[in-house]
Each structure stands twice: as C-alpha cells, then as structure tokens.
Amino acid sequence: MYVCLCKGITERQLKEAIAEGHSEFMDLKRELGVGAQCGKCIPVALAILAEETAKN
Ligand code: FES
C-alpha cells in the first residue's frame, strides 16, 4: 500500500527504513522523501512510525 503518493513510498519501504534505525520522522523524510511534497501522508507516516517504534 502506498503511504506517500507524491514520492511513491510504500508502507513496506517505510517499515524497512524504520527497522534500519530511522526512528525519527525527519530521518525518514531525509532518507525517503516522505512528506516532502504535499504533506498529506505525514499523519499516516507518523502513525506507522509510532506503531513500529512501539514494537521495539
Ligand atoms: Fe507524501 Fe504528498 S503524499 S508528500
């Protein structure tokens, strides 16, 4: 499932980047570009980040 349509970033890519240690939203933005254009994906990306970091 695509999280960020502007940059074509999937939920899986986000989860992989989080697992690799990108534990802050700004890290994900720098690494993948998520949220760097229209910003509509930011709430979803933050929710995935919170969910994934809560697992660790
Ligand atoms: Fe992610 Fe537009 S959908 S920046």
Convert the pLDDT of each residue in 1-34 to its tens digit: 999 999 999 999 999 999 999 999 999 999 999 9
User: Is the reported ipTM for this assembly greater than 0.95?
Assistant: yes
> Alpha carbon of 21 to those of 6, 9, 39, 46: distances in Å?
23, 17, 22, 15
Using alpha carbons, select from 11, 14, 3, 12 the residue that is nearest to residue 38.
3
User: Residue 56 pLDDT > 70, yes or no?
Assistant: no
Rg of the chain taking only CA atoms, in angstroms: 10
Type of residue found at 8 = G
User: Is residue 45 in contact with ligand 1, taking CB distance under 6 Å?
Assistant: no
Centroid of chain to Cα 25 = 7
Residue tagged 């509509």 (tokens):
40
**Which ligand 1 atom minimizes the distance to the CA of 36?**
4
Distance 43 CA to ligand 1 centre (A): 10
Superfamily of domain 2-55: BFD-like [2Fe-2S]-binding domain (1.10.10.1100)
Looking at residue 55, its pLDDT comes to 84
